[in-house]
Amino acid sequence: MNKRQLLQSFLAASALSFGLASADAQTLTPIKFQLDWRFEGPAALFLHPAAKGYFKAAGLDVTIDAGNGSGAYEMGFADLAALMEFHANNPDSPNKPVAVMMVYNNTPASVMALKKSGITKPGDLAGKKLGAPVFDAGRRAFPIFAKANNIGAVNWTAMDPTLRETMLMRGDIDAITGFTFTSLLNLEARGVKTADVVVLPYPDYGVKLYGNVIIASPKLIKENPAAIKKFLSAFAKGAKEVIANPVVAIESVKARDGIIDSKLETRRLQLAIDTVINSPDARAEGFGGVNAGRMSLMASQVSDAFNTKTRVSPDAVWTAALLPPAAELNILKK
């Protein structure tokens, strides 16, 4: 999905009135939540707590939609770099969403190529033809990856997300950027052996960008911060179970999209957990929060790489004020 469309949908939400919870325990606060992509493995992080009734038990009526760029949403799941870019390029917009919880402590972005291409390291990409949708997080952040690894100029080809892996297989392009757990398993589903794919993860090559965050509209933050706190607590409770048992958690995704390959999506979810959710960086910093120094560096890198109208302000895009207590965030397995 187009990251700009996702963020624009939050601007539309500014026109909505939120059903604030009353003293009546039976009144549920409605929250429309938008995922960043389709109903795939990682969506279990949100669909599982919903299926288990954790949001409802917290007094929330949460509706979870796949990322399709339409409608108006109070909360959602988005790439932090895209959020930073949106803020810095729309300085006068009063309704920019704000990140309220870190979920992907590392960016899932990587460069992927087939071994037969001869690409084995970042430097081999110079002069090559790379492909990705124009809004792809890895493509947008590629200048940061290129700078960190002294990569010479590359040639870009744009395509619809559904064609990315197919074009790589056909040899139309030499390499692609994308979320590792998305493209690697998409290649496998098309008959490519994992052993025949070269993966160059951004975090492994000097690019310590944060990945996806839970975002909330400024209207909801102002008018009902308690609802956000309840959402994040219920989410953390569910996420702990997802991390502990992905096989069970994937059932919630199957319930929303019956045609998914449960085995494949369980592997996708496990890959996401291992690489960006329960990563060494995440365990060091603690689930849900951020390291201020790392956040400031990322803001500077995004400002430079995306050539934004104004410099990214970390304090404008992120708040830790609504996070659950530390005990509730202690969900990562050692």
CA distance 31 to 35: 13
Q: Which of 157, 172, 205 is the last residue of a domain?
A: 205
Q: Which of 173, 205, 237 is the last residue of a domain?
A: 205
Q: What does the pLDDT look like over 58-107, one tens digit per residue? A: 999 999 999 875 668 999 999 999 999 999 999 999 889 999 999 999 99
Give the pLDDT of residue 15: 44
Residue 129: inside a domain, yes or no?
A: yes
CATH label of the domain that carries residue 152: 3.40.190.10
Task: Looking at the structure, tell me whether residues 55 and 126 fall in a common domain.
Answer: no
Q: Which of 178, 205, 232 is the last residue of a domain?
A: 205
* DSSP 8-state code for residue 193: -
Task: Looking at the structure, tell me whether residues 214 and 131 fall in a common domain.
Answer: no
Task: Looking at the structure, tell me whether residues 98 and 61 fall in a common domain.
Answer: yes
Split at pLDDT 50, 70, 90, the class of 22 is very low
Residue 148: inside a domain, yes or no?
A: yes
- The answer to whether residue 272 scores a pLDDT higher than 60 is yes
Task: Looking at the structure, tell me whether residues 251 and 314 fall in a common domain.
Answer: yes
Give the pLDDT of residue 72: 86
Look at residues 332, 333, 273, 328 and name the one whose alpha carbon lies nearest to residue 58: 328
Split at pLDDT 50, 70, 90, the class of 12 is low
CA distance 303 to 161: 25
Give the DSSP H/E element, type plus range, for residue 142: helix 142-148
Helix/strand/coil percentages in the chain, nearest 5: 50, 15, 35
For the beta sheet containing 98-102, the strands, ordered from the edge strand earlier in sequence to the opposite edge, are 60-65, 29-34, 75-79, 212-216, 98-102
Residue 334: inside a domain, yes or no?
A: no
Residue 122: inside a domain, yes or no?
A: yes
Task: Looking at the structure, tell me whether residues 80 and 126 fall in a common domain.
Answer: no
Residue 315: inside a domain, yes or no?
A: yes
Task: Looking at the structure, tell me whether residues 37 and 180 fall in a common domain.
Answer: no
For the beta sheet containing 109-114, the strands, ordered from the edge strand earlier in sequence to the opposite edge, are 155-157, 129-131, 175-179, 109-114, 197-201
Evaluate whether 238 touches 45 at the Cβ level (below 8 Å). yes
CA distance 174 to 130: 6
Give the pLDDT of residue 94: 87
- The answer to whether residue 190 scores a pLDDT higher than 90 is yes
Give the pLDDT of residue 23: 39
pTM, 2 dp? 0.92
- Give the mean model confidence (pLDDT) for residues 279-305: 96
CA 208 to chain centre: 15
Q: What does the pLDDT look like over 25-64, one tens digit per residue? A: 469 999 999 999 899 999 999 999 999 999 999 999 999 9
- The answer to whether residue 136 scores a pLDDT higher than 60 is yes
Look at residues 298, 282, 138, 280 and name the one whose alpha carbon lies nearest to residue 209: 298
Residue 248 domain boundaries: 3-103+210-329
Give the pLDDT of residue 82: 93
Where would I find the beta strands (DSSP E) of the chain?
29-34, 60-65, 75-79, 98-102, 109-114, 129-131, 155-157, 175-179, 197-201, 212-216
Task: Looking at the structure, tell me whether residues 95 and 221 fall in a common domain.
Answer: yes
Give the pLDDT of residue 267: 96
Number of domains the chain contains: 2
Task: Looking at the structure, tell me whether residues 93 and 141 fall in a common domain.
Answer: no
Task: Looking at the structure, tell me whether residues 185 and 223 fall in a common domain.
Answer: no
Average per-residue pLDDT for the chain: 93
Evaluate whether 43 touches 85 at the Cβ level (below 8 Å). no
Residue 149: inside a domain, yes or no?
A: yes
CA distance 30 to 47: 16
Task: Looking at the structure, tell me whether residues 198 and 219 fall in a common domain.
Answer: no
Task: Looking at the structure, tell me whether residues 92 and 225 fall in a common domain.
Answer: yes
Task: Looking at the structure, tell me whether residues 167 and 193 fall in a common domain.
Answer: yes
